[in-house]
Amino acid sequence: MENVTLKNGVQMPMEGFGVFTVEDLAQCEQVVLDAVASGYRLIDTAAAYFNEEAVGAAIRKCGISRDELFITTKLWVQDAGYEGAKKAFETSLKKLGLDYLDLYLIHQPFNDYYGAWRAMEELYEAGKIRAIGVSNFYPDRLTDLCINAKIAPMVNQVEIHPFFAQEEAIKVMKELGVVPQAWGPLARGGHNIFTNTELLAIAEKHGKSVAQVVLRWNVQRGVVVIPKSVKKERMKANIDIWDFSLTDAEMAEISGLDSGHSDIVDHHTAKTAKWLNEWRIHE
């Protein structure tokens, strides 16, 4: 496993494990235990995933020391704002059963995320968070926040996969010193990704699976990946990407699959803004 160095010097694994949609707490606890046993050290959750308690239980049972793990959770839209973020952070920390977080992200670029960011800056300076960042911030909002914040985001987690390669967004992130992190790095199984003829041909050349090739493509671009699976054999396969490299021609061929847009969610629409602002995760 390789690490990337964030702008504050913190080392973050280039590959982690996500638990989005794993809402059954017993199942979530088990898959996190399986992921850690498979070699993952970065675990990514969120208040809006409703499974922070299960992630915390697995952390306590996994047998790996806390300082070897990199735990991420996220602030939901409902709790954006200075006071809301402070309260939501403490709630997440309590549910996880932790004394500090490795990475705390603003989950969506809506509501009072500037107020939330000021709270996160203070929590970071107080040593309660090792790194702070954002999620789903497109180049315009990310640039604006970086310019106006006291402490600029260190990570931006966005949808990135071969069919939404986000090359311009990644370029902007790198210019700003923000590490790109990919959610949905396997396109959530869309676009018939696992039977794509170009990807299958490249995978065959390397004796790897399509999933392994796609994950390798992202990390070779400097993008951190957080694939999710509830099946242990797939977890093991997804982390087995560090013993081969793609050629420049193969990298370009995979990037050529880019459609230039998301088929999952468009954060620029009024419909999305309304939907995410109305999604309540607590009373």
Q: What is the mean pLDDT of the chain?
A: 97
Q: Which residues contact 271 (CB under 8 A, 6 or more apart)?
A: none
For residue range 23-82, list pLDDT tens digits in order. Answer: 899 999 999 999 999 999 999 999 999 999 999 999 999 999 999 999 999 999 999 999
Q: In this structure, how many other beta carbons lie within 10 angstroms of the beta carbon of residue 165?
A: 21
Domain containing 150: what range? 12-275
Nearest-angstrom CA–CA distance, 24 and 21: 9
For residue range 234-259, list pLDDT tens digits in order. Answer: 999 999 999 999 999 999 999 999 99
Residue 5 forms part of a structural domain: no
Taking residues 145-156, report their average pLDDT: 98
Taking residues 92-106, report their average pLDDT: 98
Res 230 pLDDT > 90:
yes
Which amino acid is it at 240?
A: D
Residue 7 forms part of a structural domain: no
Taking residues 176-186, report their average pLDDT: 97
Placement of tokens 């021609």 in the chain: 249
What is residue 25's predicted lDDT score, i.e. its pLDDT?
95
pLDDT level of residue 1 (50, 70, 90 thresholds): confident
Taking residues 85-114, report their average pLDDT: 98
**Number of domains the chain contains:** 1
Residue 112 forms part of a structural domain: yes
What is residue 56's predicted lDDT score, i.e. its pLDDT?
98
Nearest-angstrom CA–CA distance, 132 and 134: 7
Residue 3 forms part of a structural domain: no
Res 181 pLDDT > 90:
yes
Residue 41: CA atoms inside 13 Å, Cβ hemisphere, count? Answer: 15
Length of the chain: 283
What is residue 190's predicted lDDT score, i.e. its pLDDT?
86
Residue 102 forms part of a structural domain: yes
For residue range 197-223, list pLDDT tens digits in order. Answer: 999 999 999 999 999 999 999 999 999
Residue 224 forms part of a structural domain: yes
Residue 246 forms part of a structural domain: yes
Backbone angles phi, psi at 159, to 5 degrees: -65, 120
Taking residues 128-155, report their average pLDDT: 97
Res 189 pLDDT > 90:
no
Residue 175 forms part of a structural domain: yes
> Which active-site residues does the annotation give?
49
pTM for this predicted structure = 0.96
> What is the CATH classification number for the domain harbouring 270?
3.20.20.100
What is residue 187's predicted lDDT score, i.e. its pLDDT?
93
